[in-house]
């Protein structure tokens, strides 16, 4: 097994190594207003029920819509939407409708008021379980999932910091090494 020579590293930059999840688009709506935001800070917290945790800065326009509605949709874009993902993250919802600006289709959700992004590979309708305002952390229960039939493993986008992204790569399985009860 190979060893690696290491050096001290700035603590403020360790997220480049630890943020495992793909970039998502969070859609929200409240009293006729809708918004989209780009998000990279999130994690799964549970499986039954499906719980999803994320950080949303209180200065972000979506924060107020989400806090009031207590709902959102987590939309999973693929690599072909990277320019839209960056553009959505670089502007405020106070500047106009991001669905229109970036040519995305808002579709009605079945269990929440926030719209789905039709062009995304998957959409997860969420209801708020808990908000930790001191940390800007929201815990969501996913109440409905919509996932495209193909491809089985979409090419997702992952943020590395400082404007750099990586794309999900080839699938590698070690399933045969796992005990069935651990899967």
Share of the chain above pLDDT 90, in %: 68
Instruction: State mean pLDDT over 169-175.
Output: 86
Residue ranges and CATH numbers for the domains of the chain are: 20-182 (2.30.110.10)
Task: Give the model's pLDDT for residue 10.
Answer: 79
50-103 pLDDT per residue, tens = 999 999 999 999 999 999 999 999 999 999 999 999 999 999 999 999 999 999
Yes or no: say if 38 and 77 are a contact pair by the CB < 8 Å rule: no
Task: Give the model's pLDDT for residue 17.
Answer: 67
Task: Give the model's pLDDT for residue 20.
Answer: 63
Residue 14 pLDDT level (bands cut at 50, 70, 90): low
* Measured distance CA(142)–CA(54) in Å, rounded: 13
Task: Give the model's pLDDT for residue 16.
Answer: 64
Yes or no: say if 77 and 85 are a contact pair by the CB < 8 Å rule: yes
Instruction: State mean pLDDT over 124-149.
Output: 95
Task: Give the model's pLDDT for residue 142.
Answer: 95
Task: Give the model's pLDDT for residue 137.
Answer: 96
Task: Give the model's pLDDT for residue 98.
Answer: 97
Yes or no: say if 42 and 20 are a contact pair by the CB < 8 Å rule: no
Instruction: State mean pLDDT over 102-114.
Output: 98
Q: Return phi, psi of residue 99, to 5°.
A: -60, -50
Instruction: State mean pLDDT over 30-44.
Output: 94
* Measured distance CA(176)–CA(174) in Å, rounded: 5
Q: Is the pLDDT of residue 183 over 60?
A: no
């Amino acid at each position: 097994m190979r060893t690696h020579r290491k050096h001290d590293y700035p603590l403020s930059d360790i997220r480049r190594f630890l943020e495992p999840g793909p970039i998502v688009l969070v859609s929200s709506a409240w009293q006729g207003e809708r918004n989209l935001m780009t998000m990279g800070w999130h994690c799964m917290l549970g499986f039954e029920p499906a719980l999803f945790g994320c950080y949303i800065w209180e200065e972000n326009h979506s924060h107020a819509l989400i806090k009031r509605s207590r709902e959102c949709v987590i939309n999973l874009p693929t690599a072909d939407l990277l320019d839209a993902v960056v553009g959505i993250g670089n502007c405020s919802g106070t500047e106009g409708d991001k669905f229109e600006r970036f040519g995305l289709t808002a579709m009605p959700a079945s269990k929440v008021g926030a719209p789905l992004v039709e062009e995304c590979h998957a959409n997860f309708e969420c209801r708020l379980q808990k908000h930790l305002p001191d940390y800007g952390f929201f815990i969501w229960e996913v109440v409905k999932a919509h996932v495209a039939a193909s491809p089985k493993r979409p090419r997702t986008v992952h943020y590395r910091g400082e404007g750099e992204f990586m794309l999900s790569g080839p699938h590698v399985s070690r399933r045969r090494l796992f005990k069935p009860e651990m899967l």
